[in-house]
Structure 1
Amino acid sequence: MKFIYYSIFLVFISSVAFAQEINIDETLANVKREVEKENFDKALSIIEPLRAKYPENEDIQTYTGRIYSWKKEYKTAIKILSPMADRNNPNPEALQALVNVYFWTEDYEKCILYCDKYLTIDPKSVEVLKIKATCLEKLNRDQEALDLIDKASYIDNSTQAFSGIRTLIGRKAKNTVSASYLNISTSDPGQQPFHYGYVEYSHKFSKSAIVGRANIGNISGDTQMLFETDFYQTFSNKSYLYANAGVSTGETIFPVAKGGLEYYFKPQKKFDFSLGGRYMHFETDNITLLTGQVAYNAGIYTFAYRPYYDISNELFSHVLSVQRVNEEKERLVRLELQYGNVPYLYLYNNFTQPLKAYRVGIQYQHRFGDSFFVRPIFLYEYEEYTQGEYRNKFNVQLIVTKRF
């Protein structure tokens, strides 16, 4: 009889223990559902009693630390995770969670320390290698980051995961040289093509940049040059000022002298604005253009509108553009719709008349390697060259750039 009682008692104890085990699984499932909904407080209210009851269960401890880190209560997360990560035989999950905490808090030195500790356990972890390379870049230890990326590429047989970091390092280059050629041809009726080109050099400082440019133009056998400089000054609120000044060797192809100012600012998260003007002095006339821009940023797309108002001739021109950018590859595609006497680059002369012009243009930028860029541009115009008479105009340009 006693044997039967003991048997029933043991079965009861086993069933209770089994139920508790199921309850752990069910409780963690409920916690994860709340985490997916970003109900972190509710998730913690469910898991904390479980954590207190089973302090030896490191899966529960680690997941609790992760929840606090997702909730941005980083000090609590560190307090929970550190004992499991700092011992001689660290818990890999807790160690990886602590790597994320120090990365999110921008404590890059400590993050690198814990990355190294994790990589002794799993040296092929692309995720942790990427975090370490990012930390090195943030600390301007760029060569170390590049060496780590090269090493990781042998492990992963790919550099795709690290291309964004390479791009960030490449953009730190202080110097850039560019060269361009532009051909403008017409048909119905046609005339001799116009030829333009430039070479430029730019240098970046900590909060400013300066560009020197030499332009050359050839029209109907006449060749003239324009020498100009651009200056950019950034401010603490992420706005910046653009200034331009130039002088030429002639009077017709380019203005005798030119200047411009434009202030770019971003009062709202997704909108950019600018206000400015351009001034051009010709031998027989002066032209003042008022301009500005409003741009809406929608992820990888930017939609923008820019007007020009020619005060001297009382002419309005308009530019609508859509641009798609791949930041990681520094690749862009831009479509433009234009109306009126829109100045194409530096081209704007004193023969402006109140005639109509409709334009559609497309440009594309492609990066080769880490620092060489090619940008072809095509712009088609349906231009009123005399009152009521139209012709086709084709603008074909190629810009090549090298940064170093």
Structure 2
Amino acid sequence: MFKISLLVGIFSLMFCTTWAQDLAYHGNPDNSFFIARDLAFSGNHLAARDTLSLVLTKYPDYTDVRNLLAKTHSWDGEYDLARKEFNRIISKDKTNKEVWIAAVKNEIYAENYYTALGLSNKALIFLMEDLDLLKLKEDTTKKIYEIQKDEEMLIALKEEAEGQVLRNRIGFINSFDVFDIVYDPMIFSAFEYTRTTQFGQIIPRITYANRFNTNGLQFELDLYPKISERFYAYANYGYSNQLIFPRHRAGLELYANLPKAFEASLGLRYLDFVTSAATIFTGSVGMYTGNYYFSLRPYLTPRKNGPLGVSGNLIARIYLKDKNQYFGLNLSYGFTPEIIQIISNSDILLSETLLFVESQQLLMEYSFSGKSSVNRYRGMLGLTRQELIFDAGQFFYAISAGLRYETNF
């Protein structure tokens, strides 16, 4: 009985081996590729995939074969299967332009525009300044920008149709700074109300601060008048009779919405302290590219008896689900009274200064909204390195943390 079972097992193994050998690929891979290509281009994608898959059993690194296999999946709407094949090629061959383009188009067909933009950027790392990939990236960016505009318009029309246009917003801000040496913790809080009208936004604000064991209030008004579809402005005035704030502060700036999702502005700020004042010239250049936003803002502050004060900050954001959800970085560097600083003047410590101490700051922020988008939250965490005013060349460090809450009604 044992011998019969052994013979049956050997026979079965020989049969399976012979059957597997019959299924193995023995043809010319180039000829098979041309046949599969003709089948694919004539619309017979299933037969083409059978041939291509068989070739890959023996030649798994035949790029043209796998690329065509991925394309047939993409043409049939099987975007996940196509992505898997494209990724397998790209992981080994990062300079194959045809595969990169096909992979990007696969994401466009799947309406994964942010993924398509990311693939375009990645491809341009290995194929720098390639015109076809740059054109694909530009088209994808335009599509994303159009979708964002359409979504905003649909939301506005829906709210208007339902009589739910939210023109009012209340915001609460609270933050604190902790220092490694010398200074006690500082507290900063603000309450603001925003009213949106057909002419622009009006924002009154009350700010409270506790610095160096001194309390103070500042009253401000921001205006964002709409001039035209392309231009709008910013105007600000603030007053305080407390020494931890400037007595008067003002700002004026003109913004322009430019083609290709660019924005630029030019303006000035004015700070009036008890014994001195400063005029600061500023401007900005902003750019939306896909789900990213970048903004660069310089500050130029002339001084009568000293060099020009130069500083600036760079903002970078990546938007996630919608315009209310993003992760951002804000990097500030330079010498300016616009950035919060610390001085000692007749034993009175002020919040901002004309002495131009050196300062660098990195601020991280995360913004998100509730389910109805009526409530919005933003958390902030930052690190500051700043020169001690009474010990030039020596620096202190500060950690900042804050939370902003807004509700619309």
Q: So what's the TM-score if we normalise by structure 1?
A: 0.56
What whole-Å deviation, never above 9, does each CA across 1:214-267 have from its counterpart, x for those lacking one? Answer: 0111112211110010011112233210000111121x2111011100111023
Q: Deviations over 1:152-194 (max 9, x none)?
A: xxxxxxxxxxxxxxxxx7xx4100001111212210x242111
Q: Distance in 2 between matches of 1:374 and 1:201?
A: 16
Match of 1:323 among 288, 309, 317: 317
Q: Quick check: 2:341–2:352 contact (8 Å CA) kept in 1? A: no
Secondary structure of the structure 2 residue equivalent to 1:138? helix
Superposed CA deviations along residues 323-350 of structure 1, whole A, max 9, x for unmatched, are 1124636212111221124535899845
1:263 aligned onto 2:250: no
> Which runs of structure 2 are paired with 1:54-133 in the superposition (5 Å)?
none
**Amino acid aligned to 2:311:** S
Answer whether contact 2:340 2:351 (CA < 8 A) is retained: no
SS, match of residue 274 in structure 2: coil
Could you say which residue in structure 2 is the equivalent of 1:373?
376
- Quote the offset at 1:138 in angstroms: 2.8
- Whether the 8 Å CA contact 2:341–2:351 is kept in 1: the answer is no
CA distance in 2, matches of 1:300, 1:136: 19
Alpha carbons of structure 1 residues 135 and 176: separation in structure 2 relative to 1, 3 Å: closer
What's the counterpart of residue 142 of structure 1?
161
Amino acid at match of 1:387: A
Residue 226 (1) aligns with residue 218 (2): yes
CA distance in 2, matches of 1:403, 1:345: 30
**Does structure 2 retain, via aligned residues, the 8 Å contact 1:285–1:350?**
no
- 2:332 aligned partner, one-letter code: Q
Give the aligned partner of residue 243 of structure 1.
235
Aligned amino acid, residue 326 of structure 2: L
Measured in 1, the distance between the counterparts of 2:154 and 2:401 equals 43
Q: What CA distance in whole angstroms lies between the structure 2 residues aligned with 1:274 and 1:346?
A: 25
Q: Distance in 1 between matches of 2:359 and 2:341?
A: 18
Contact 1:341 1:352 in 2 (8 A): no
Q: How many angstroms does 1:322 deviate by?
A: 0.9
Change (3 A) 1:329 1:210: closer
CA distance in 2, matches of 1:218, 1:241: 32
Letter paired with 2:211:
I
C-alpha separation between the residues in 1 aligned to 2:365 and 2:408?
A: 20
1:400 matched to 2:405? The reply is: yes
> C-alpha distance in 2, partners of 1:344/1:136?
37
* Distance in 1 separating the partners of 2:387 and 2:406: 34
What CA deviation, in whole Å up to 9, does each residue of 1:261-280 have, x standing for no partner? 01110232232101011101
Given the superposition, is the C-alpha separation of residues 383 and 240 from structure 1 closer, same or farther in structure 2, using an over 3 Å criterion?
same
- Which aligned runs of 4 or more in structure 1 are off by greater than 6 angstroms? 345-348
Q: Distance in 2 between matches of 1:214 and 1:233?
A: 21
State the distance in 2 between where 1:142 and 1:269 align: 31
Residues 328 and 364 in structure 2, CA contact (< 8 A), matched pair in contact too: yes
CA contact (8 A) 1:179 1:200 kept: yes
2:281 aligns with: 290
Q: 1:287, 1:350 within 8 Å by CA — same for their partners in 2?
A: no
Taking the aligned partners of 1:353 and 1:286, their CA distance within structure 2 comes to 11
Cα distance change on mapping 1:275 and 1:367 into 2, 3 Å:
same
**What's the % identity of the aligned pairs?**
23
The question of whether the paired residues in 1 share the 8 Å contact of 2:334 and 2:359 is answered with yes
Aligned to 1:254, what secondary structure does the other structure show? coil
Deviation string, structure 1 residues 369-392 (Cα, Å, up to 9, x no partner): 321111111121111113110111
**Inter-CA distance 196–136: structure 2 relative to 1 (3 Å threshold):** closer
CA gap 1:266/1:242 in 2 versus in 1, 3 angstroms: same
